Amino acid sequence: MEYTNIKLEKENRVATIRLNRPDALNAFSPALLTELSSAVADASSDESIKALVIRGEGRAFSAGADLTYFQQTFTDTTLLPGFVAQISDVTRQIEGLPFPAIAVVHGFALAGGLELMMACDMTLVAEDARIGDQHVNFGLMPGGGSTQRLPRRVGLQRAMELLTTGKWITGAEAVKWGLALRSCPAERLDDELETILTPLRSKSRAGLALIKEVTLRGMTMSTDDGVALEAQAFVGYMTTSPHPAEGIQAFIEKRQPEF
C-alpha cells in the first residue's frame, strides 16, 4: 500500500509508524485508519521486527477522530458503524502484535489519540504533553475503548474524572497516574525511547510474543487461572521453540544468544 496519511519506517529491527496529518493534528480519518491498519499488519508479518513505535508528525501525537468527518455521519448514519469499527479494530490489532508497541507522545493525545496510546504496551511522553479523553466536551462519548482501558490503567475514580469532566493532564501527571511509563522534556524523547529499544532488539521474538500474549490475557483472569495459563505457555515454549535452548547454551558459554 502507498502511504500518504502515515509514514512507515523499518530500521534495526524496529518498525516506526508516524501519523502524518500534521495540519489536522493527526486526526483520524477513514483513510488514515486504513493505512495505519495496513502498516501494523506489515510490521507484524516481518519476522525481523522486535518492536513497533507509534508517534505523530508536527505539533501533536493525535487529537483523535476527525470531527469534520463526523459531521457527514449525521446525514449518512451508515458511515458511523464502519468508522468506529476501524478504530476498535486497529487498537485490537496493535494489542495483538507479537512484540511490544510503544507510543511516543508529544503535544496532544486526546480522545482517539488517547485510545491509540492506550492500545500500546508502553508510553513515553513529553512532560508538557496534554492528555485526556475530551469526548464529553463536545457532547460525545468514547467509541474506541476509553471507557474500558482507562479504568484498567488508572483506576475507576481517575478514569471517571477524565471521562466525565473532559479534563486534560500533563505528561508528568500521566506517569504518576500509571497512564505512561516515563516522561521527559520533548527534546529527550528519542533518547528515552532508545533505552527501551536497545535491549528489545536482541530478544527472542517468539519469547516476546508469548510474554505479551500471556500477560494481556491473564489480566482478564483470576490469579489462579492466569498462573495456569503461564505454566502451560512456558511448557509449550520450552518444548517447541529452539530459542530457550539457545539462550541457556549462550549463558553457559558466556556469550550473547542469537535469535
Q: How far apart are CA 134 and CA 146, in angstroms?
A: 11
Q: What is the largest CA-CA distance in the chain?
A: 68
User: Are 37 and 89 a contacting pair, CB within 8 Å?
Assistant: yes
What's CA 253's distance to the chain center, in Å?
37
User: Are 196 and 88 a contacting pair, CB within 8 Å?
Assistant: no
* pLDDT per residue as tens digits for the range 123-170: 999 999 999 999 999 999 999 999 999 999 999 999 999 999 999 999
End-to-end CA distance of the chain: 29
Q: Which residue has the cell 507479537?
A: 98
Q: How confident is the model at residue 25 (pLDDT cuts 50, 70, 90)?
A: very high
Q: CATH 1.10.10: does it fit domain 205-252?
A: no
DSSP state for residue 89 in the 8-state scheme: H
Domain map of the chain by residue range?
Answer: 6-200, 205-252
Query: Can you give the pLDDT at residue 74?
Result: 84
Q: Does residue 208 register a pLDDT over 90?
A: yes
Look at residue 101 and give its three-state secondary structure.
strand
Q: How confident is the model at residue 198 (pLDDT cuts 50, 70, 90)?
A: very high
The mean predicted confidence, pLDDT, of the chain is: 96
Q: What's the whole-number mean pLDDT along residues 38-66?
A: 97
Q: Does residue 68 register a pLDDT over 90?
A: no
Q: What's the whole-number mean pLDDT along residues 58-68?
A: 93
Q: Candidates 1.10.3470.10, 3.40.630.30, 1.10.3720.10, 3.90.226.10; correct CATH number of 6-200?
A: 3.90.226.10
Which residues on neighbouring strands pair with residue 125, listed in sequence order? 105, 183
Q: How many CA atoms lie within 13 A of 156 on its CB side?
A: 0
Query: Can you give the pLDDT at residue 71?
Result: 83
Q: How far apart are CA 70 and CA 216, in angstroms?
A: 32
Q: Does residue 72 register a pLDDT over 90?
A: no
Q: What's the whole-number mean pLDDT along residues 114-130?
A: 98
Query: Can you give the pLDDT at residue 254?
Result: 95
Neighbours of 133 (CB within 10 A): 28
Q: Does residue 73 register a pLDDT over 90?
A: no
Picking from 104, 110, 106, the residue whose alpha carbon sits closest to that of residue 67 is: 110
Task: Please name the residue ranges forming H helices in the chain.
Answer: 30-45, 67-75, 79-95, 112-119, 146-154, 156-165, 171-177, 189-200, 205-218, 223-240, 243-252
* pLDDT per residue as tens digits for the range 221-257: 999 999 999 999 999 999 999 999 999 999 999 999 9
